Every structure is written in C-alpha cells, then in structure tokens.
Amino acid sequence: MSQKKVVFMGTPDFSVPILEAIAKSSYEILCVYTQAPKRSNRGQKLNISPIHKSAENLKLIVRYPKNLNSEEEFNFIKKINPSIVIVVAYGQIISKKFLSIPKEGFINIHASLLPHWRGAAPIQRSIMNSDKETGISIMKIVEDLDAGPVLKQIKIKIDESVTTAELSKNLSKISSESIVDILDNIFNEKLKFTTQDHKLASYAKKIKKSEAEINWNESAKKILAKINGLNPNPGAWFIYKKNRYKIWEARIVEKQGRAGTIVDSKFTIGCFDKSLEVIEIQKEGKNKLPLKNFLMGINFKQGDELK
C-alpha cells in the first residue's frame, strides 16, 4: 500500500467538514492550501477563510499563496511528496505540471453530477435550472476544467424549496461521510475511473450580480428557483419606490395578477403565471424580516407596480 500522505486544498465552509473527516482518519495531512486572507468591506480587518480557520484549529500547516502556480509552491509540494492531493472548492486553477507530483494524482470533489454543471457555481445553477437531482462527483483533475475521469458519484434529489445554503450543507455532509472510504478505495485500487461523456457537458458559470434582478414577466416557478438559488449570495432583488429589496424566502400561490404588481394586502406579487407570496424579505441597508414584521413598516397598496 502507498503511504497515506495528503495535501488538502479548499477555501469555503463547504470544504470544512471534508477536511475535518480526513483529519480524524489515519491519513496524514502534510499541508492545507487555501485562498489568501481578504479584507472586510470597510478595509480594516483581514479575514481568513473557513478552511484556514479549521486548519489552524487542527494545528495543521497552512499555505495561502496568491498564486499557487509559482516555482516556490511547485518545489514545496514536490519536496513534501504527498501521495494524493484532495481539492474541494479551492478557487485557483492548478497548472498541468503539478498534476503528476502525487502518485494518486489530484482528486476533486465537485458538487454536481458531471459532466453536468462543470465550473464555478454548480449548486446555484442546478437550483436555478429547476433540476430534479444533483450530487457530488469525485474525479481526477486534468488540465481541462472539471473534465477528468470520475471515480464515484452520489446522487440526491432537489426539492423545489431548497436553497443554495441548505443544499451546499447537505452535499458537504455527504462528501465528508464518504471521503475516507473513497480514499481507502483509491489506495487499495478498488475503484475505477470512468471517462466523462464530454458531449453532455454543461457549464455552471460564476454568478453575475446582474443575474440577481427579478424579472416578474417570468414564471413563478422560475422566479422562485432564482430566489432559492441565489440564497445566501448575492440574493434575488427587485426595486419598489426607488428602494431595492431582496426576497430570501417565498412560495408559489395560485392567485392571478398582472406581472410585477402587488395583488393583495399581503404583498403577494404577480408573475407571468400565478403569484409569489413573500415569506422573508430585506430592504437594502436593513435586516431581514419575516413578512408580518415587514408589513408593519411599509406603506403600499394593491396594484402598486414593482420594477
């Protein structure tokens, strides 16, 4: 059996349970890579990533180069000689020359059923597309984006009310519960890699802020999928009386009304078909509020138009 030496690369909350699961196992984590600390909105405090914080708590070595693909980092990884590198939402492209360093390669945990939704925002895109299922794919990293052979996939259903925050947490949990067994099977050569059908590939492009504006001329189902897919970031929004509002939770109701207008005394909003009943909403610069509290502080009337 090969030596069980791991380098881990990850950045967001999604990656943390997976790192912690490996740390509890018999595998030795030589080093953790993550994105460099970023300043807060006010430019005062440097904030380390969730993985950085977790790695420090686990007393692991942490490296956070602004550019991974430098000679310094190449020589460092080559020197410590990991047997495998696990990558979970790291956030940097890994150049080809790195891929041959570990005997078992670079293994990526990707939050979609590849070849569907390759790229940066697979969870958001699967919800916004009203997909019925998603899952995780454990695959070998190659030079092309998320195009490597797949070792294992785990599927789950997508409920139409689930948000990106909830689905991300669920997929992270599934990944953390599976990662040690997957590593064992890789080292024991019990799993085989299967080439993706590249003709079926679709791409989950990074979410643009401009996508977050709600178009009330779309179906209620499509608008709800956008609200859920963009929760928690950046949040789906509309303009009413020159103020921006984000909807964090809503449900579809059968009421009819002109698209983009308030159709009743409960601030229900008409769509191309049916309507959306708001459950949680936030005015720009204010806190999120349940609808009941929101209605106490806003003057509106049935028939008002939203942008």
Cβ-contact 29, 51 below 8 angstroms: no
CATH of 210-296, picked from 3.40.50.300, 3.40.50.10490, 3.10.25.10, 3.20.20.70, is 3.10.25.10
Residues 6+ apart with CB under 8 A from 256: 263, 270, 274, 275
Domain boundaries, the chain: 5-204, 210-296
Cβ-contact 165, 230 below 8 angstroms: no
- Both structure tokens of 257: 């009304």
Residue 114 amino acid letter = L
pTM for this predicted structure:
0.94
Looking at residue 43, its pLDDT comes to 64
Closest by CA to 262, choosing from 288, 292, 299, 300, is 300
Q: What is 5-204's CATH topology?
A: Rossmann fold (3.40.50)
| Exposure of 210 in the CB half-sphere (CA atoms within 13 A) | 0
Looking at residue 40, its pLDDT comes to 73
CA angle 133, 215, 119 (to 5 degrees): 40
More confident residue, 44 or 29: 29
| Per-residue pLDDT band at 191 (split at 50, 70, 90) | confident
Distances, alpha carbon 180 to alpha carbons 22, 51, 263, in Å: 6, 18, 53
Q: Residues 235-258: pLDDT tens digits?
A: 999 999 999 999 999 999 999 999
What residue has token string 């977790």?
A: 54
Q: Taking residues 17-21, what's their average pLDDT?
A: 98
Residue 75 to residue 124: CA distance in whole angstroms: 36
Q: Residues 78-136: pLDDT tens digits?
A: 999 999 999 999 999 999 999 999 999 999 999 999 999 999 999 999 999 999 999 99
Q: Taking residues 150-175, what's their average pLDDT?
A: 97
Looking at residue 1, its pLDDT comes to 41
- Quote the strand ranges of the chain, DSSP E: 5-10, 28-33, 38-39, 46-47, 62-63, 84-88, 106-110, 118-119, 133-140, 150-157, 203-204, 236-240, 243-253, 269-270, 275-283, 288-290
The angle, 0 to 180 degrees and rounded to 10, between the axes of the packed helices 16-23 and 50-57 is 20
Cβ-contact 124, 188 below 8 angstroms: no
